[in-house]
């Protein structure tokens, strides 16, 4: 048994032993869970994938005369930002698109520049064109402003991502007879490819499947800077089928995360365009797992061969919201390049970058070893399996009984 405070003492004295989740898998194979849990203090995880529920709050500072952009309209490099806040607080979401973007009117659309690209450019220190319109008030008389902002000339800029870091994800296939352009990439007709999107054995929440150590307040690697777990992510659903040892077999927990965008690195926040689907952003997240005991070590060391995902049809089932799995596969099978679905050998391809996930886990490891990053005790736990959370569906045509 170790406490987080003891681990932090070891970080301070330079004696901490940190391994990546990938290294932990090998170490446990070699030395067993018990010994590994005694040797290792921290396991670092990482993931780098498209995460649409990502965005950035900015406080622009006040102009002279003042303008109340709140309730008005605001564009950053022509991409609309949300203005339903105070005078100069705005939020730019990763999937926002310029009003002039043709979207899917010429199918499949290319979505060349959206909110995710604005975030990447901002974090890279580039000038962003700000255009805002307001209705004018006695205290905020100005109606329009056109200028440039960058990370040096705004007050606060922080990411607040309502849902990142999915614990497990679907494997997408297409049983229909036409090509599909999805957030899981291009899915060729009649089961010609299977696309998956998880770092598997490096993925943060798969390495702490019962949220023993990851909770609200946990300090993390976010976009190349420091962030924190703010809350459970939207659609957080710990009540899903699990393996015998308790690892979710389908998408389950998620994280809402927050962090100072001014200190992030555009290498780990990359605006992305998914043909036929939309604009989004690749986000790099890394979470340290303090090896408190054997149980934590056990879960942190589960390899791709023990982590399962469900194969889902995006031709009919996903768009129609039919909850059906065609079959179950392991991440080891996915990474081998072929899986078997409905009796057919199907080549499979990743959507999230495993090599970047490795880089993030390695970076976090170096930060901890060199005393730049300390671990935190969660302020509050995330809802766990058995909690009374349920996922609501949006039914149309509901009638207000009043």
Residues 310-349 that bind another protein (CB under 8 A): 335-337, 347, 349
Cα separation of 170 and 323, whole Å? 11
Smallest separation, CB 272 to another protein (Å): 4
106 near another protein, judged by CB under 8 A: no
Residue 139 bears catalytic tag: yes
Cα separation of 186 and 172, whole Å? 10
- For 175, the enclosing helix (H) or strand (E) is none
Task: State residue 33 phi and psi, 5-degree precision.
Answer: -65, -45
Options 52, 74, 139, 327, the catalytic residue: 139
- For 210, the enclosing helix (H) or strand (E) is none
Selected from 212, 270, 302, 365, the binder of another protein by CB under 8 A is 270
Q: How many residues bind another protein (CB under 8 A)?
A: 31
Stretch that binds another protein, among 62-70, 209-217, 269-277, 393-401 (CB under 8 A): 269-277
Which SS3 state, helix, strand or coil, does residue 172 take?
strand
Smallest separation, CB 353 to another protein (Å): 5
59 near another protein, judged by CB under 8 A: no
Selected from 75, 354, 367, 373, the binder of another protein by CB under 8 A is 354
Strands (E), 94-156: 128-133, 144-149
Cα separation of 174 and 29, whole Å? 37
Selected from 77, 83, 167, 195, the binder of another protein by CB under 8 A is 195
253 near another protein, judged by CB under 8 A: no
203 near another protein, judged by CB under 8 A: no
Task: State residue 254 phi and psi, 5-degree precision.
Answer: -145, 165
SS (H, E, C) 95-107: CCCCCCCCHHHCC
Over the range 75-101, which residues count as b (16 or more CB within 10 Å of their CB) and which as e? bbbebbbbbeeebbbbbbbbbbbbeeb
Residues 61-90 that bind another protein (CB under 8 A): none
Cα separation of 290 and 207, whole Å? 11
Residue 192 vs 325, nearer CB to another protein = 192
Cα separation of 3 and 10, whole Å? 11
Smallest separation, CB 373 to another protein (Å): 22
Residue 50 vs 225, nearer CB to another protein = 50
Q: Residue 233 has what DSSP assignment?
A: P
Stretch that binds another protein, among 6-14, 35-43, 128-136, 188-196 (CB under 8 A): 188-196
Cα separation of 18 and 44, whole Å? 7
Stretch that binds another protein, among 89-97, 187-195, 377-385, 389-397 (CB under 8 A): 187-195
Residue 303 vs 350, nearer CB to another protein = 350
358 near another protein, judged by CB under 8 A: yes
353 near another protein, judged by CB under 8 A: yes
Stretch that binds another protein, among 54-62, 63-71, 78-86, 266-274 (CB under 8 A): 266-274
Smallest separation, CB 270 to another protein (Å): 5
Single out the residue of 145, 3, 169 nearest to residue 65, CA to CA.
145
107 near another protein, judged by CB under 8 A: no
Q: Residue 44 has what DSSP assignment?
A: E
Query: Is 30 in contact with 299 (CB distance < 8 Å)?
Result: no
- For 384, the enclosing helix (H) or strand (E) is none
Smallest separation, CB 110 to another protein (Å): 8
Residue 104 vs 239, nearer CB to another protein = 104
Q: Which positions lie near another protein, rule CB under 8 A?
A: 48-50, 110, 112, 185-186, 188, 193, 195, 270-275, 280, 282, 335-337, 347, 349-356, 358
Q: Among all residues, which ones are annotated catalytic?
A: 139
């Amino acid at each position: 048994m170790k406490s987080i405070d003891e681990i932090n003492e070891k970080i301070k004295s330079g004696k901490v032993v940190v391994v990546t989740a990938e290294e932990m898998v090998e170490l446990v194979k070699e030395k067993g869970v018990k010994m590994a849990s005694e040797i290792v203090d921290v396991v670092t995880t990482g993931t780098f994938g498209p995460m649409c529920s990502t965005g950035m709050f900015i406080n622009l500072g006040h102009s002279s005369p003042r303008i109340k952009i709140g309730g008005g309209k605001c564009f950053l490099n022509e991409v609309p930002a949300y203005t339903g806040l105070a005078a100069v607080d705005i939020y730019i979401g990763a999937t926002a698109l310029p009003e002039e973007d043709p979207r899917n009117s010429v199918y499949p659309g290319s979505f060349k520049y959206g909110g995710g690209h604005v975030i990447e450019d901002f974090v890279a220190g580039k000038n962003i064109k700000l255009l805002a319109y307001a209705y004018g008030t006695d205290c905020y008389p100005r109606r329009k402003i056109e200028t440039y902002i960058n990370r040096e000339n705004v007050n606060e800029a922080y990411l607040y991502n309502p849902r990142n870091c999915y614990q497990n994800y679907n494997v997408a296939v297409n049983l229909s007879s036409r090509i599909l352009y999805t957030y899981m990439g291009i899915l060729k007709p009649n089961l010609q490819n299977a696309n998956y999107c998880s770092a598997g054995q490096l993925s943060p929440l798969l390495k702490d499947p019962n949220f023993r150590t990851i909770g609200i307040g946990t300090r993390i690697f976010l976009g190349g800077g420091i962030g924190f777990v703010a809350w459970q992510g939207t659609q957080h659903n710990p009540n899903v089928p699990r393996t015998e040892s308790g690892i979710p077999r389908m998408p389950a927990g998620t994280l809402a995360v927050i962090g100072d965008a001014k200190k992030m690195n555009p290498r780990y926040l990359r605006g992305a365009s998914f043909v036929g689907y939309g604009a989004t952003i690749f986000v790099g997240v890394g979470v340290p797992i303090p090896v408190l005991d054997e149980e934590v070590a056990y879960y942190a060391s589960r390899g791709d061969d023990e982590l399962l995902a469900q194969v889902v049809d995006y031709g009919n089932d996903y768009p129609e919201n039919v909850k059906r799995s065609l079959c179950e596969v392991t991440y080891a099978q996915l990474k081998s390049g072929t899986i078997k679905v409905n009796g057919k050998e199907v080549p499979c391809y990743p959507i999230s970058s495993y090599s970047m996930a490795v880089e993030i886990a390695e970076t976090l490891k170096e930060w901890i070893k060199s005393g730049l990053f300390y671990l935190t005790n969660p302020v509050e736990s995330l809802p766990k399996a058995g909690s009374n959370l349920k996922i609501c569906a949006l039914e149309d045509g509901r009638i207000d009984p009043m």
